Amino acid sequence: MCGIVGYIGKREKKEIILNGLKELEYRGYDSAGLAVLKDSEIVHFKAVGKLDNLKEKTKDFKSDGSGLAIGHTRWATHGKPTELNAHPHLGKFSYVIHNGIIENYQELKKELQEKGAVFVSQTDSEVIVHLFEENLKNSKPFEAFEKTIKSLKGAYAILLITKANPDKIFFAKNLVPLIVGKNSQDEIFFSSSDAPLINLAEDVIYLNDLDYGYAKKGKIKLFSNGKNKNLEFKKLSVSKLSAQKEGFRFFMEKEIYEQSAVSSETIMGRINENDIILENIEDDFFEDIREITICACGTSYHAALTASYLLERISKIKTTVEIASEFRYKEPLLLKDTLFIVISQSGETADTLQALKMAKNAGLKTLSICNVDNSSIVRLSDKTLLTRAGIEKGVASTKAFTTQVLLLWILSLKIALLKKEIDKDFFKKEVENISKVPTVLKVDEKLHEKIRRLSKRYLHGHGFFFIGRDIFYPLSLEGALKLKEISYLHAEGYPAGEMKHGPIALADSKLFTIALMPKSLLYDKVKSNVEELSARDATILALSPLEFEIADDFIKTKGYDHPMLEFFEMTVILQLLSLEISVRLGNDVDMPRNLAKSVTVE
């Protein structure tokens, strides 16, 4: 996590850095800082909390004319969110910003302390600047930087500036993203993602792992493993990503309302009456595949679980779902005829990226379902299907989830067609239902109002169970995750039929149960499970198209005939419920405590 930006050029540097950090604030907002190097003098500012605090601190500071600047927004890994732990970290005459984790920082720190270095923070990152200054005692600045990088183990995107070489930014990248950009005015930019570079840089290089180098006005030098590398620029082809709230109270709310529109984009050009067309993926890509493994984290993992039901039911292909952080260290059996799918909104999640690398190294075919083009995961996987949800700013994922599930439904049908597992009539009906998704996802404002009123009852209590069966089980996990993330209330998602094997012991009137009771899938089974809970006084909020008298609260759904349509309808209801509970509790909906949008540490 953490976001970093850098700039070499004549414009007002503070503004470029602050605007860039604004775009990256979703990556962490525990603290922020910046440093400007001009005429061999470095000025720096740090502030705890959101970026606005840094803005306030720097309001009288001017930094136009020649020089360079770096900035950082932090998601704390080592050390509390304090000013001392905020970046940039200072040596005697050099400053560093870092995203990632330096795994061997303790041993390096010990060695440096023995040589007299004074550490003031609890971070792993501070070691970089002291090590650089130590190396500088016997080497020129770039050699000292090169030596420093060689000693580091772990993940890093680093920008370092020093009075010892005041016209350069030294940079290095391993396992977390770093982009360098330039334009025709000889300005140079660095960033953790595309967004801050839009309207500034024209051409960019997405640095590879173990790339490092330096930049000065109009010039970039890139190295890997001691050797000079060619600069392979790409045009920055992203449209303006800087999403605005457009009248909504929160990005999350706007993104819930956007789901109808973006799901049309997900579908566009991919389905017709007879076939599914997956851009850039030839049919033979799916040949000889006997199994599928899907790997992801968080909400994307819930989309993966949902897809596993579809892939087995529709495409008749064995599908295993893995949590990326578990998968990495379990020494998994990777069989060659397995298609390895990763799902990620950001395309930068460290665990998912590493799992993808393992699959690639084992020679598996890989496919990513991703929302961010050009992200690390997209660049690494053999094939990609973009969800086309547009930038998602709310930390709590909403439209990324619905578009992932929708795309995976489309993919299941494609595989089923290729394997001849479904007939024309079934396919036609599925396609008709897929076309209905944008309508199903349209938020009914009256329903939203009802949920707003209802949310009052669900602020206190000793916890929530979200229960469902089949695809509504992953949806119950997702409903619980949404609530946890933004309301900080304890919630669990559970298979409805599993409650009686233990969790029902918790049932009393202060246990809130959100029951997902679609009419098109296992209605009677879930009903019995909910009745068992109600008999033990649990407070029930039922979501169903069929009247259910024993529920304490009831949200009547439309009663679509297809389980996937009921699934999407209930998804929106659960998202709105979490949103309204969080609002009533006065929480920061878009930037909930302790979280970051993009999790680039393991």
* Cα distance between residue 160 and residue 6, in whole Å: 10
525 given a catalytic annotation: no
Segment near ligand M6R (CB under 6 A), from 25-33, 152-160, 392-400, 570-578? 392-400
597 given a catalytic annotation: yes
Tell me how far, at minimum, the Cβ of 469 lies from ligand M6R, in Å.
23
β-strand pairing of 68-74 with 89-90: unpaired
Among 94, 191, 260, 349, contact with ligand M6R (rule: CB under 6 A) = 349
* Cα distance between residue 209 and residue 440, in whole Å: 43
* Cα distance between residue 294 and residue 305, in whole Å: 8
The residues, ordered by sequence, that sit 6+ positions from 505 with a Cβ below 8 Å of its Cβ are: none
* Residue 307 touching ligand M6R (CB under 6 A): no
* Cα distance between residue 315 and residue 420, in whole Å: 9
Among 45, 599, 601, 602, contact with ligand M6R (rule: CB under 6 A) = 599
Q: Per-residue DSSP letters for 270-282? A: TB-SS-B--TT--
* Residue 300 touching ligand M6R (CB under 6 A): yes
Among 28, 71, 298, 479, contact with ligand M6R (rule: CB under 6 A) = 298
91 vs 298 by CB, closer to ligand M6R: 298
Catalytic residue chosen out of the listed positions 182, 383, 527, 597? 597
* Residue 345 touching ligand M6R (CB under 6 A): yes
Segment near ligand M6R (CB under 6 A), from 36-44, 311-319, 344-352, 570-578? 344-352
* Residue 299 touching ligand M6R (CB under 6 A): yes
Reading the block at residue 311, the tokens are 């892939």
Tell me how far, at minimum, the Cβ of 518 lies from ligand M6R, in Å.
23
Among 395, 411, 496, 589, contact with ligand M6R (rule: CB under 6 A) = 395
Reading the block at residue 557, the tokens are 């759904």
Count other Cβ atoms within 10 Å, centred on residue 413. Answer: 24
Phi-psi bin for 155: left (phi > 0), alpha (psi -120 to 50), beta? beta
**Cα 559 from chain centre:** 32
Size of the site for ligand M6R (CB under 6 A): 16
306 vs 397 by CB, closer to ligand M6R: 397
* Cα distance between residue 47 and residue 72, in whole Å: 11
The residues, ordered by sequence, that sit 6+ positions from 507 with a Cβ below 8 Å of its Cβ are: 513, 533, 536, 537, 538
Segment near ligand M6R (CB under 6 A), from 12-20, 201-209, 283-291, 292-300? 292-300
The residues, ordered by sequence, that sit 6+ positions from 421 with a Cβ below 8 Å of its Cβ are: 314, 315, 316
Among 220, 396, 440, 541, contact with ligand M6R (rule: CB under 6 A) = 396
Segment near ligand M6R (CB under 6 A), from 78-86, 122-130, 213-221, 291-299? 291-299
* Residue 387 touching ligand M6R (CB under 6 A): no
Chain residues in the site for ligand M6R (CB under 6 A) = 297-300, 344-346, 349, 352, 395-397, 481, 485, 598-599
Catalytic residue annotation? 2, 597
